[in-house]
Amino acid sequence: DGTPLSDLVRVPTREVQMRALSDPEIYQLEMDRVFGKTWLLLGHESEVPNSGDFVVRDMGSDSVIVARAKDGNIHVSLNVCPHRGMRISTVDAGNTQIHKCIYHGWAFKPSGEFIGAPVEKECMHGKMMPKEDLGLPQARVTLYGGIIFATWDLEGPSFEEFLGDAKWYFDTLFERSDKGLEVLGPPQRFIVRANWKAAGEQSAADGYHTLTLHRWLGEVGNYSKSGEGGSADLSPEMYGVEVSSPHGHALRCIDLGRKIRKLTGLDPAELTVDQKLEALPPPGMTHEMLPQLRKRLSEEQLEVMVSMPPQVGGIFPNVLFAFVYIPQADGSVLGLTLLHAYVPKGPDQLEFVNWVLAEKDAPQELKDKMLMQSIQLFGTSGMVEQDDSDTWPHMTLAAKGARGRRSTLKYQAVYETGAPAGWPGPGIVNEGFTKDDTQWHWWLYWNELMNAKA
Ligand code: FES
């Protein structure tokens, strides 16, 4: 509507023009400049354990086949037939060594290589293009803690470079155990009539909304017992350390000392790192698994894990992770480990994909509990996400108004308090109550990508 792209994110005043949340032209540009350039979450290798196993997922507006080939490697192939553009796999998941297009029957391996076409010998008279030119376009793939990420940017930054300083913290979640994580059941999926960025920027560690939108957490059920003095005020639960990243990743590290004190009656200041780990193991880990942490993480990473562990945050552009401690009726704590992806499905629609994770080493009984509570809280009918998915459509609709689309979102309540004394981790670190800083950095990276020279 005449506003230059460079004016959508107003850096000097820390504002974002609302039309960014619904404009179809901006959405189209995002597909190239954001989803065509960054590393995207597609699933977990435990979803495709055997040769020929595949799932169909999306990289922005492109459907892709994520398949394990005979050599054991995972390939991500564009799910588009090079003959006439038909979608090759029309199902969500399965097992096959031959992906056959239903239109004219061209066939492809799980690696994306072209196998052949019907009546090739009888009718084509050797006129077909060489087989190596007819394979499916391949994305660049990496596994991180078994999680599958892929990008169309074949020459761009490595996944490690993309994570940058945030990797130091993410390793404490995704690379902390010998056997790694696995997915419990197929991911849950549901459609929300909202622009992906309404959810995406919230994933950049917005704990602020919890106090109001999820206030019921402090008023009913087990959570009501978790606040200091059993009050409905959840704000003490949100104090901690925020980590922002120049690549838009974010972490909300929350004080664990309160929980240790409340649950064990012990004074965390008097405990060693090992004693704190024993008192309250990280979400999804058993006491027996704790030596693996020592083996895989540095002393500094362990120090953060037992004092201010990352519990919620995001991987740019559209991933939220949660490694949270859920109070139980018997006074114990159950850890839940989750990944969400907010997959764009048009300017006004996203698909919410929810993976429930557990450590492979964890006992089955614990995995069953984790799955049940994750679904109850965070799944398709989960209580928490029902709150969130009520706000995002309103924001998207508001961004269409003749006046509303020219309004700006405000990201000015920034602490910039700096890191607490002796904080051992890297990144842009601010101590205090969660508010605007991490989300502002999310928008800054979005802005950088959207205005980058091709
Ligand atoms: Fe796939 Fe023709 S479009 S074989």
Span 306-331, average pLDDT: 91
- Same-domain check for residues 348 and 222: yes
Q: Cite the beta strand spans of 119-180 per DSSP E.
A: 140-144, 147-151
Residue 228: what pLDDT? Answer: 45
- Same-domain check for residues 206 and 120: no
pLDDT at 435 over 60: yes
* Structural domain ending residue among the three candidates 126, 152, 178: 152
* Structural domain ending residue among the three candidates 129, 152, 175: 152
Span 127-155, average pLDDT: 93
Nearest residue (CA) to ligand 1, atom 2: 104
Q: Does residue 21 lie in a domain region?
A: no
Q: Does residue 23 lie in a domain region?
A: no
Q: Tell which atom from ligand 1 comes closest to the C-alpha of 84.
A: 3
CA distance 154 to 27: 22
- Same-domain check for residues 240 and 126: no
- Same-domain check for residues 210 and 285: yes
Give the pLDDT band (50/70/90) at residue 232.
low
Residue 216: what pLDDT? Answer: 81
Least confident range of 58-62, 116-120, 189-193 = 116-120
Residue 229: what pLDDT? Answer: 40
Paired strand residues for 253: 241, 310
pLDDT digits (tens, 9 = 90+) for 436-447: 999 999 999 999
Q: Does residue 381 lie in a domain region?
A: yes
| Helix/strand/coil for 153 | coil
Q: Does residue 373 lie in a domain region?
A: yes
Q: Does residue 35 lie in a domain region?
A: no
pLDDT digits (tens, 9 = 90+) for 89-136: 999 999 999 999 999 999 999 999 999 998 777 766 667 788 888 999
Q: Tell me how far the alpha carbon of residue 109 is from its chain's centroid.
A: 29
Ligand 1 site, residue 83, Cβ cutoff 6 A? yes
What percent of the chain is modeled with pLDDT above 70?
94
- Same-domain check for residues 202 and 335: yes
pLDDT at 158 over 90: yes
CATH code of 100's domain? 2.102.10.10
Span 305-324, average pLDDT: 95
Q: Tell which atom from ligand 1 comes closest to the C-alpha of 106.
A: 4
Residue 55: what pLDDT? Answer: 98
Burial profile 206-234: b = 16 or more Cβ within 10 angstroms, e = fewer: bbbebbebbeebbeeebbbebbeeeeeeb
- Same-domain check for residues 145 and 176: no
- Same-domain check for residues 116 and 56: yes
Residue 2: what pLDDT? Answer: 62
Domain count, the chain: 2
- H or E, element range at 359: strand 350-359
- Same-domain check for residues 140 and 171: no
CB of 166 closer than 8 Å to CB of 174: no
Q: Does residue 430 lie in a domain region?
A: yes
- Same-domain check for residues 278 and 381: yes
Ligand 1 site, residue 149, Cβ cutoff 6 A? no
ipTM value for the complex: 0.99
* Structural domain ending residue among the three candidates 152, 181, 214: 152
pLDDT at 394 over 60: yes
- Same-domain check for residues 291 and 419: yes
Mean pLDDT over all residues of the chain? 91
- Same-domain check for residues 147 and 170: no
Ligand 1 site, residue 104, Cβ cutoff 6 A? yes
- Same-domain check for residues 391 and 268: yes
pLDDT at 416 over 90: no
pLDDT at 454 over 80: no
CATH code of 295's domain? 3.90.380.10
Nearest residue (CA) to ligand 1, atom 3: 84
CA distance 108 to 131: 10
Q: Does residue 370 lie in a domain region?
A: yes
CB of 205 closer than 8 Å to CB of 415: no
Residue with tokens 């979005």: 446
CB of 230 closer than 8 Å to CB of 347: no
- Nearest Cα residue to 364 out of 176, 184, 188, 175: 184
Ligand 1 site, residue 93, Cβ cutoff 6 A? no
Span 314-332, average pLDDT: 89
pLDDT at 226 over 60: no
Per the structure, the complete domain to which residue 47 belongs is given by 40-152
Span 277-285, average pLDDT: 92
CA distance 173 to 167: 10
Least confident range of 83-87, 114-118, 261-265 = 261-265
User: 346: CA distance to ligand 1 center in Å?
Assistant: 26
Q: Does residue 34 lie in a domain region?
A: no
CB atoms within 10 A of CB 54: 25
Cis peptide before 317 (omega within 30 of 0): yes
pLDDT digits (tens, 9 = 90+) for 241-250: 999 999 999 9
| Order of all β-strands in the sheet with 40-44 | 40-44, 147-151, 140-144
Residue 219: what pLDDT? Answer: 77
Residue 224: what pLDDT? Answer: 62
Residue type, 146: G
